[in-house]
């Protein structure tokens, strides 16, 4: 098959979700760098792909899709052979819960804390870091009962949640108190086809 084009920015956790999913599915991928620092995502050529002006975007033989979680669902349904997205109503609902968490609490906690240190975003670390820990405590409790977020097998829920939780230390959010989360991260990183997001020496992340 032809390579799926992924318009990405390497340090974007949203873009990394999609890169990781493509790699786990062993799909040929053409990475197209979008220079956010130069504002390429707000130029007409890119806005024609995603009017919200955000990465990631994929082009799968003319099927152009934006929004990381929407792309994960598409890839799982089209190429996952039923493995990455449960078809039963309860399983599908549980996955959707975590996709919502990835777009909400995880984005407003661990991801936002990282935005402060890595990109200089003007958020209040004294508010964001405690909120990030409140989110991680919920995830830690959930992972006490199963190896993955939705049962015994990995799903797109894990892919959506992984990137920003794994890189939480870059935002001065320590993972030391979350053994279940650390074990879960290790399980994901051991999956065939895993590809990581580049780490930055920021916050508590002193080495790469």
How does pLDDT run across 111-163, given as a tens digit for each residue?
Answer: 999 999 998 889 999 999 999 999 999 999 999 999 999 999 999 999 999 99
Over pLDDT 90: what percentage of the chain? 86
Give the pLDDT band of residue 207 (cuts 50, 70, 90). low
Higher pLDDT residue, 199 or 131?
A: 131
**Dihedral of the alpha carbons of 127, 133, 10, 162, in degrees to the nearest 10:** -150
Q: pLDDT at position 40, please?
A: 87
Distance CA 26, CA 42 (A): 31
Distance CA 44, CA 53 (A): 9
Give the pLDDT band of residue 24 (cuts 50, 70, 90). very high
Q: Which residue has the tokens 């190429």?
A: 79
Asked if residue 208 has pLDDT above 90, the reply is: no
Q: Are 147 and 185 in contact (CB under 8 A)?
A: no
Look over the chain and give the mean of its residue pLDDT values, rounded to a whole number.
94
Q: pLDDT at position 116, please?
A: 94
Which residue, among 161, 184, 175, has the nearest Cα to 203 in the 3D structure? 175
Task: For residues 23-52, give the mean pLDDT.
Answer: 92
Q: Domain-by-domain residue ranges, the chain? A: 4-79, 89-189
Q: pLDDT at position 35, please?
A: 87
Q: pLDDT at position 1, please?
A: 82
Distance CA 30, CA 100 (A): 28
Right CATH number for 4-79 from 3.30.420.10, 3.90.226.10, 3.40.30.10, 3.40.50.300?
A: 3.40.30.10
89-189 maps to CATH 3.40.50.620: no
Q: pLDDT at position 38, please?
A: 87
Task: Give the pLDDT confidence of 79-123 residue by residue, as tens digits.
Answer: 999 899 999 999 999 999 999 999 999 999 999 999 999 988 899
């Amino acid at each position: 098959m032809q390579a799926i084009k992924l318009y990405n920015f390497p340090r974007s956790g949203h873009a990394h979700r999609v890169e990781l999913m493509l790699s786990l599915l062993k799909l040929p991928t053409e990475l197209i760098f979008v220079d956010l620092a130069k504002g390429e995502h707000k130029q007409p050529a890119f806005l024609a792909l995603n009017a919200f002006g955000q990465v990631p975007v994929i082009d799968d033989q003319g099927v152009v899709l934006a929004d990381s979680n929407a792309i994960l669902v598409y890839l799982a349904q089209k190429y996952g052979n039923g493995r990455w997205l449960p078809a039963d109503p309860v399983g599908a609902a549980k996955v959707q819960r975590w996709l919502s968490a990835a777009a909400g609490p995880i984005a407003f906690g661990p991801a936002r804390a990282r935005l402060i240190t890595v990109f200089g975003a003007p958020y209040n670390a004294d508010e964001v870091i405690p909120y990030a820990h409140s989110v991680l405590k919920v995830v830690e409790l959930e992972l006490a009962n199963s190896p993955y977020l939705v049962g015994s097998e990995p799903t797109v829920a894990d892919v959506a949640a992984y990137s920003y939780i794994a890189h939480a230390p870059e935002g001065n959010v320590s993972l030391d108190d979350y053994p279940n989360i650390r074990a879960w991260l290790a399980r994901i990183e051991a999956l065939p086809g895993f590809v990581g997001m580049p780490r930055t020496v920021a916050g508590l992340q002193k080495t790469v």
